Amino acid sequence: MLVVDDEDWVLETVRRYLEQAGFDVTPARDGASALEAFDRAAPDLVILDWMLPKLDGLSVAARIRTTSRVPIIMLTARVTEQDRLAGFDAGVDDYVVKPFSARELEARVRAVLRRSSGKESSIQEAGDLRLDREQRLVWVRGELVELSAMGFDLLAFLMTHPGRVFTRLELLEAVRGETYSGFERSIDSHIKRLRQKIEPDPTHPSYVLTVFGVGYRFARGEDA
From first to last of its 224 residues, the chain has per-residue pLDDT tens of 999 999 898 899 888 888 888 888 999 999 999 999 999 888 999 999 988 998 998 899 989 988 888 889 988 887 777 777 788 888 888 888 887 777 778 888 888 887 776 555 678 888 889 998 878 899 998 889 998 888 998 999 999 888 889 998 888 888 876 555 455 677 899 999 999 999 999 999 999 999 998 999 999 765 54
Residue at which a domain ends, from 55, 90, 116:
116
Q: 108 and 169 share a domain? A: no
Residue at which a domain ends, from 49, 84, 116:
116
Where are the extended beta strands (E) located within the chain? Answer: 2-4, 26-28, 46-49, 72-76, 94-97, 123-126, 129-132, 137-140, 143-145, 166-167, 208-211, 215-218
Q: Which domain holds residue 44?
A: 2-116
Note the residue count of the chain: 224
What is the rounded distance in angstroms from the CA atom of residue 95 to the CA atom of residue 88? 10
> Can you name the residues that pair with 74 across neighbouring β-strands?
48, 95
Distance separating the N- and C-terminal Cα atoms of the chain: 43
Q: 106 and 79 share a domain? A: yes
What is the rounded distance in angstroms from the CA atom of residue 6 to the CA atom of residue 152? 28
pTM equals 0.53
Q: 76 and 141 share a domain? A: no
